[in-house]
Every structure is written in structure tokens, then in C-alpha cells.
């Protein structure tokens, strides 16, 4: 049973435009949410996080939005750069465990 | 080192062989996690340590999988009598506390032939 879902396996965006990656979850007990970025042959790299008590967290070009009523999380990257091309995983935490989505492959076209 | 280190990076094992995967977490990180990532999937939780205590092993797929962290730092994931379905990337992550972001190693890609 997939508790964290990323329904878009891939996304292509022009350089300079906004990239929006989406994530849905089912467990209302999740209290901490994260986005990870992964390049081929490397482990996931932490990008940004948000606590369930907030609805927005911003770090430079990256902003994460949390809509608890909709159980929806999104990552906005603006402006998108070619170096942002990677697989992005959202993750949600409750207790000792982090639950990951299946990832969205982002391609930023120069 | 500055990050989480895993070894070996790649391991090819014959079916039935035992393997041991090593994880060196970031110094001072209390929490350590093991994940299994199959091709095209997100990481799946295997087990969690707080210092040397294995507090959660609910994700271990069978009793062939065993993990330890005897001194609260380095951890080893052991898979006995490997099967083809064990082929995956095994990721180790550590965090300062349970509820902070986890930092991942590069993973060990295990291929069982």
C-alpha cells in the first residue's frame, strides 16, 4: 500500500520556467515532509523539508507547499536550470520511518 | 568523512551466497536507516537504529536479512542465502535525530545472479 504517491513519472520544463512537482499522501499522521533529489548512481540528496505545522517553506529557488486538508505536497523550482535535471522523491515521516514516493524525473531543457 | 559512506558500491553475488553491506554514517548522527530501492521505485524502509538499538525492523523482507550497529556508529546489513529478488540498491541514511532530515550514502548495488 503506497502511502506516498508521485503520479507523474516524468516532467519536462524549459530553462527559466517554473517546475512544479507534486506528491500526494494518504496517512494523516505524517508530521514531516521532505524532498530529495537524485542523480544517477548517487544516493538521494536532501533538498528541502516542511513540518506539518507549516504550509510553506522557501529556500532560494525551491519552495515546498503543504496542503494538509488535501494531503498534497508540491515542490516549486523557479527559475529552473539544466542542472536541476534529476529524479525528485518526496518523502513523509511518522515515527521512525520515512515513506518515499516513486519519484518524478525532471528534465530541464536548455 | 563528511558524508555517509557505503561499501562496496557494487556487489555481484551468486544465488545462495551470503553478503554483508557496510555503512559509515555521519559522525554524531544518532539515527541510522537502511532502505532498499528496486529499479524504478522509491526507497523502501528496511530498518532503523537509534544508536546501537535496533528500534524498528518491520521492513526487513525475510529472516534472511539481518542488520546490526554494535557500537552505535558503523552498521552492517547482512543478507543470507541471497535470492534474485534481493537484487536492488541498498541505501543507508543517517540523521542527527529521528525527526530531522536524513542524509543518504551512494548506495550499494547488489546483483544476484
Contacts of B49 in chain A (CB under 8 A): none
Q: How far apart are CA B45 and CA A16, in angstroms?
A: 36
Contacts of B31 in chain A (CB under 8 A): 96
Contacts of A34 in chain B (CB under 8 A): 101
Please compute the mean of the pLDDT values over residues B57-68 and round it to a whole number: 95
Say which of B44, B50, B103 has its CB closest to residue A46: B103
Contacts of B45 in chain A (CB under 8 A): 97-99
**Res. B21: pLDDT tops 70:** yes
- Would you call B41 and A32 a contact, using CB atoms and an 8 Å cutoff? no
**Res. B1: pLDDT tops 60:** no
Q: How far apart are CA B49 and CA B68, in angstroms?
A: 8
Question: Is it true that the peptide bond before B8 is cis, omega within 30 degrees of 0?
Answer: yes
Contacts of B6 in chain A (CB under 8 A): 43
Q: Which residue of A has its CA nearest to B105?
A: A43
So what's the pLDDT on residue B34?
96
**Res. B2: pLDDT tops 80:** no
So what's the pLDDT on residue B45?
92
Say which of B42, B99, B105 has its CB closest to residue A43: B105
**Res. B27: pLDDT tops 70:** yes
B33 touches chain A (CB under 8 A): yes
Residue bearing the bigger pLDDT, B1 or A69: A69
Confidence of residue B57 (pLDDT cuts 50, 70, 90): very high
Confidence of residue B40 (pLDDT cuts 50, 70, 90): confident
Say which of B41, B91, B101 has its CB closest to residue A43: B91
So what's the pLDDT on residue A1?
67
Say which of B42, B45, B104 has its CB closest to residue A43: B104
Amino acid at each position: 500500500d503506497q502511502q506516498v504517491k508521485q503520479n507523474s513519472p516524468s516532467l519536462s520544463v524549459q530553462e527559466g520556467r517554473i517546475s512544479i512537482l507534486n506528491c500526494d499522501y494518504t496517512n494523516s499522521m505524517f508530521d514531516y515532509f521532505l524532498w530529495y533529489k537524485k542523480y544517477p548512481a548517487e544516493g538521494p540528496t536532501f533538498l528541502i523539508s516542511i513540518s506539518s505545522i507549516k504550509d510553506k517553506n522557501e529556500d532560494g529557488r525551491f519552495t515546498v507547499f503543504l496542503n494538509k486538508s488535501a494531503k498534497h505536497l508540491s515542490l516549486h523550482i523557479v527559475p529552473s536550470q539544466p542542472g536541476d535535471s534529476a529524479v525528485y522523491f518526496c518523502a513523509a515521516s511518522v515515527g521512525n520511518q520515512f515513506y518515499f514516493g516513486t519519484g518524478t524525473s525532471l528534465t530541464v531543457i536548455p | 568523512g563528511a558524508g555517509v559512506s557505503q561499501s562496496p558500491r557494487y556487489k555481484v553475488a551468486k544465488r545462495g551466497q551470503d553478503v554483508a553491506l557496510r555503512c559509515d554514517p555521519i559522525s554524531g548522527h544518532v539515527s541510522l536507516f537502511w532502505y532498499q530501492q528496486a529499479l524504478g521505485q522509491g526507497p523502501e524502509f528496511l530498518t532503523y537504529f537509534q544508536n546501537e538499538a535496533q528500534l524498528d525492523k518491520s521492513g526487513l523482507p525475510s529472516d534472511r536479512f539481518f542488520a546490526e550497529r554494535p557500537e552505535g556508529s558503523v552498521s552492517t546489513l547482512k543478507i543470507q542465502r541471497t535470492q534474485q529478488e534481493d537484487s536492488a540498491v541498498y541505501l543507508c541514511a543517517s540523521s542527527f535525530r529521528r525527526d530531522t532530515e536524513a542524509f543518504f550514502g551512494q548506495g550499494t548495488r547488489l546483483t544476484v545472479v
